[in-house]
Chain A
Amino acid sequence: MSELKREIPASTAAEVLAAVALLLWRIWAVLLTRNPFDWGLLLTVYWLFSVAASGRKAWAPVTSALAAALLLVYAWGQAPHALATLGFAP
């Protein structure tokens, strides 16, 4: 336990705890909404990934890929309504 304390800075431990708390909230929400593409869920998982992958090569492509994926999630949900507003949908 004392070794663990030495290796993980308190700020990182607090950050992980906060992220895990948010993750639990969003998992609970997803169980109710059944929306696997929940914004908060994906971002919280990304947060935890960022803590783990800080300074590693994988961080940049994952960050860009997640932003692109979220763009698709948004477009998928909003596009039918937007097209209807613009008069292009039945």
Chain B
Amino acid sequence: MILGLLDLLVANAATLLGAHALVRKTGGADGALDALLFQVYRLLLITVAVLAAGAGGTLTPHVLGAAGAVLLVILLARGVHRTWTRPARPEMGRMTLVLLILVGFRLLAQVWLFAPYSPDALSYHLPKVAEWVRAGAFTREMGLDLNAPLPAGFELIETWWTVFLHHDVLIEMAGVEFAVLAFLAVRVLALQLGLAPKSAFLAGALYLVTPLFALQATSCLNDAPVAALVLSIAALAVARAHPALVLIPAGMLAGVKASGCFTVPAWVLLWVLRRDRPLLKPASTAWAAGAAAAAIGAGAWWYVRNLAWYGYPLYPVGVNDPIFGQIHVQTGPSLASLAANLTALADVRISDRAGGLGTLSLETAGWGALAFAAGGVALVAESRRDRDFRRTAAAFGVALLLVLLMVLPDPWNARFVLFFPAILCVAAAKLAETLKPAAVVVAAGAALAFLSGLLPNDLPAPAMKALMAQPWRERSSAPYYEGTPPAGDAVAVHVRGRIPTYYLYGADLSRRVVYVRTWSAAELPGALQGAKVLFVDKKSRRRGDFDQLLQDGTLRALGGAYYGVP
């Protein structure tokens, strides 16, 4: 693990210096914008590195570490490090600094203390990460869940934080990367809308305490990363950045989740509405265009792969699966969906009163106390006062409506509009700047929102506390689902539905997981590929032919969902 840690440090140093080199090639006009571009480039470099290594079968700590070392040597030889100036002391208020320290500490504590726990992450986001890291390459095997072939741009960043240590203890750092991105994007947005530097820092910090964003950031789900990329596009559009620069986060967004792409027309509209401002040209258009091409290529990767593997780029959207049926995704605009989604959001979810706050935002918006109270009032006040703010807020409104038009009415779709509270946070920061009594409400709202983002309600409180109390080397959510698998180097899995299976690999991804797609007694032994333990979900256990396997001795019960194979 020590060598892996060294590889991790070298590879991260290379992406940091590489991102700096790219900023020098394409930025330079504005410090805040450069900071945003820096984080965009860092994520792009990681994305491209993992994509190349995964496709080339070199997804191993030492190859990535060696590649990082080579890049680092080249950049150092070219003197890129000499242009890295010490950042100026940030102009932020004391309360903002305290809030950022608290948020940073909370994020890092969550990274360390959490193991992946969200059912969606355990069912279809993470099994592919485990397979890739174990194989040192992209694999056709990604688990049994129908959603597994969906775009996995965020999973590339999770792979980055897992592959070096061959352990998932730092996997939540992927979400932290996007939290940093969101913070920088909201700061740019605020500065472009005329907020003072201090207030812009506050706006970014306020967005980070938005409960759903805070909970999502360390949940291994991709809605917070989508929100961060959407906000990056919005920030670059408000700044009237060159289209090549705007296309970088847009390309990456397409590779993370399509729901974020529904907002793009709103940002195009905003970019056009601000045409009275000068176009922010990159220092080198060629370099910016190259980065945009890389981002678009990385985003398109999944659709091309699905076309090659399944004959359909959007697979599994619209596909009728014999087990899962149709994936729960709407395939076009629907005014009925818009009406139902908007009504649900405005009537109930916005107030978060229908339930606890979790990563899937069940019947809640998860925007928190600050956005609801000071944010709402400030949105009205600032929209009336300032034309630029009004236009930007209108673009956010259009983006929200576009997403609600395109998604099925269901209890958890508020997470697809997680970008929206950012404009409420900018408004609240502006109001706090101009109206002192309102600043007190903003502070109180931020405190409440911060507390709401401490623990998700996805697992009962005692289970979450027990999860965090486990030793880090073995920390796993297995005990809170079907239990830790019996000893053995392999476990076979037969499930019919969305069943968490990622924890079967173990925190160090040392256990081989074999996905069984047959159920006949004759084919089963061969399908197990030597595994002596079979994991069977409840639905499959209820089938008559399963009883037959027990009766004829093909399987024997080991307790819970686990069965031994003689």
- Which residues of A pack against B, CB within 8 Å? 15, 26, 29, 32-33, 35, 37-40, 43, 46-47, 50-51, 54, 60-61, 63-64, 66-68, 70-71, 73-78, 81-82, 84-87
A-B pairs with lowest CB-CB distance, top 6:
A77-B353, A87-B461, A64-B437, A70-B373, A81-B356, A71-B373
Q: Which residue of B lies closest to A87 (CB)?
A: B461
Give bound CA distance, A73 to B356, whole Å.
Answer: 16
Q: Which of B347, B376, B379, B452 contacts A78 (CB 8 A)?
A: B452
CB pair A29 B455 closer than 8 Å: no
Q: Using a CB-CB cutoff of 8 Å, which residues 439-457 of chain B contact chain A? A: 440-442, 444-445, 448, 451-452, 454-457
Q: Are A29 and B343 in contact (CB-based, < 8 A)?
A: yes
Q: A64-B438, A74-B369 are in contact. Are A85 and B347 (CB under 8 A)?
A: no
CB-contact partner of A67 in B346, B353, B441, B452, under 8 A:
B441
**B380 adjacent to A29 (CB under 8 Å):** no
Nearest Cβ distance between residue B436 and chain A, in whole angstroms?
A: 9
Evaluate whether A43 and B377 lie within 8 angstroms (CB atoms) in the complex, with A50-B384, A86-B461 already known.
yes
16 contacts between A and B (CB under 8 A): A39-B346, A63-B431, A64-B435, A67-B378, A68-B373, A68-B441, A70-B373, A74-B369, A75-B448, A78-B351, A78-B369, A81-B355, A81-B356, A84-B356, A84-B457, A86-B455
The verdict on B348 contacting chain A, using a C-beta distance below 8 Å, is: yes
Q: A33-B347, A67-B377 are in contact. Are A39 and B372 (CB under 8 A)?
A: yes
- B346 contact from A15, A40, A54, A60, Cβ within 8 A: A40
Pair A77/B462 contact, Cβ less than 8 Å = no
- A51 CA to B385 CA, complexed, in Å: 11
Of chain A, the residue at the smallest CB distance from B461 is: A87
The answer to whether the Cβ of B537 comes within 8 Å of any Cβ in the partner chain is no
Closest residue of chain B to A71 (Cβ to Cβ) is B373
For A73, what are the chain B residues with a Cβ–Cβ distance below 8 Å? 351, 372-373
Taken residue by residue from 344 to 381, chain B's Cβ proximity to chain A (1 for < 8 Å, 0 otherwise) reads as: 00111011110111000000000011001110111111
Cβ contact within 8 Å between A67 and B373: yes
Sample of 20 more A-B contacts, CB < 8 Å, known A50-B384, A87-B462: A26-B346, A29-B343, A33-B347, A35-B347, A37-B351, A39-B372, A43-B377, A46-B377, A60-B435, A67-B431, A67-B438, A70-B372, A70-B376, A71-B372, A74-B351, A81-B352, A81-B353, A81-B357, A81-B457, A86-B451
**In the complex, which residues of chain A have a beta carbon less than 8 angstroms from the beta carbon of B81?**
none
Alpha-carbon distance A39/B373, docked complex (angstroms): 9
A residues in contact with B442, CB < 8 Å: 67
Beyond A70-B372, A77-B351, whether A82 also contacts B451 by CB under 8 A is yes
**Interface of A (DSSP majority class):** helix
Set of chain B residues within 8 Å of A64, measured between Cβ atoms: 435, 437-438, 440-441
Q: How far is the CA of A46 from the CA of B373 in the complex (A)?
A: 12
> B465 at interface (Cβ–Cβ under 8 A)?
yes
Complex Cα gap A67–B377 (Å)? 6
A71: which of B350, B379, B441 is its contact (CB, 8 Å)? B441
Cα distance, A61 to B435, chains bound together (Å): 9
- With both beta carbons as reference points, the residue of chain A lying nearest to B456 in the complex is identified as A85
Which of B348, B374, B379 is A33 in contact with, Cβ under 8 Å?
B348
Chain B interface mostly helix, strand, loop or mixed? helix
Q: List A contacts of B451 (CB < 8 A).
A: 82, 86
**Cβ-defined contact, B372 with A74, below 8 A:** yes
How far, in whole Å, are A64 and B438 apart by their CA atoms in the complex? 5
CA distance A27 to B58 in the complex (A): 61
> What A residues does B441 contact at CB under 8 A?
64, 67-68, 71
Separation of A22 and B549 alpha carbons in the complex (Å)? 62
Residues in chain A near residue B357, CB distance under 8 A? 78, 81-82, 85
What residue in chain A is nearest B356 (Cβ atoms)?
A: A81
Among B356, B372, B377, point to the contact of A82 (Cβ < 8 A). Answer: B356
A40 to B352 Cα, complex, angstroms: 14
Complex Cα–Cα for A76 and B379 (A): 22
Interface centre among A15, A32, A68, A76 (most CB of B within 10 A): A68
Q: How far in angstroms is the closest Cβ of chain A from B360?
A: 14
The distance from the CB of A39 to the nearest CB of chain B, in whole angstroms, is 5
The answer to whether A39 and B351 touch across the interface, beta carbons within 8 angstroms, is yes
Interface-centre pick from A32, A46, A67, A73 (highest chain B CB count, 10 A): A67
In the complex, chain B residues whose CB is within 8 Å of the CB of A33: 347-348
B444 partner residues in chain A, CB cutoff 8 A: 71
Q: Measured between alpha carbons, how far is A67 from B87 in the docked complex, in Å?
A: 36
A68 to B378: give the CA distance in the assembly, Å: 12
Which residues from B are CB-within-8-Å of A67?
A: 373-374, 377-378, 431, 438, 441-442, 445
Q: Which residues of the partner chain A approach B376 to less than 8 Å between Cβ atoms?
A: 39, 43, 70
Distance between B149 CB and nearest chain A CB, rounded to angstroms: 33
Let me know if A71 and B437 touch, CB within 8 A: no
Q: Least Cβ distance of A30 to chain B in Å? A: 9
Set B348, B377, B448, B461: member contacting A74, Cβ < 8 A: B448
Q: Do A82 and B384 touch across chains, with their CB atoms under 8 A apart?
A: no
A63 to B384, CA, bound (A): 13
B351 → chain A closest CB, angstroms = 5
Q: Are B377 and A78 in contact (CB under 8 A)?
A: no
Chain A residues closer than 8 Å to B377, beta-carbon distance: 43, 46, 63, 66-67, 70
With the chains together, A75 CA to B343 CA distance in Å? 22
A36 to chain B, nearest CB (A): 12
Query: A63 and B381 in contact (CB under 8 A), knowing A68-B373, A71-B448, A85-B461?
Result: yes
In the assembled complex, which residues on chain A have CB atoms less than 8 Å from the CB atom of B435? 60, 63-64
> How far is B460's CA from A87's CA once the two chains are assembled, in angstroms?
8
Residues of chain A within 8 A (CB-CB) of B462 are: 87
Is A29 a contact of B346 with CB atoms below 8 Å?
A: yes
In whole angstroms, how far apart are the Cα atoms of A46 and B355 in the complex?
Answer: 27
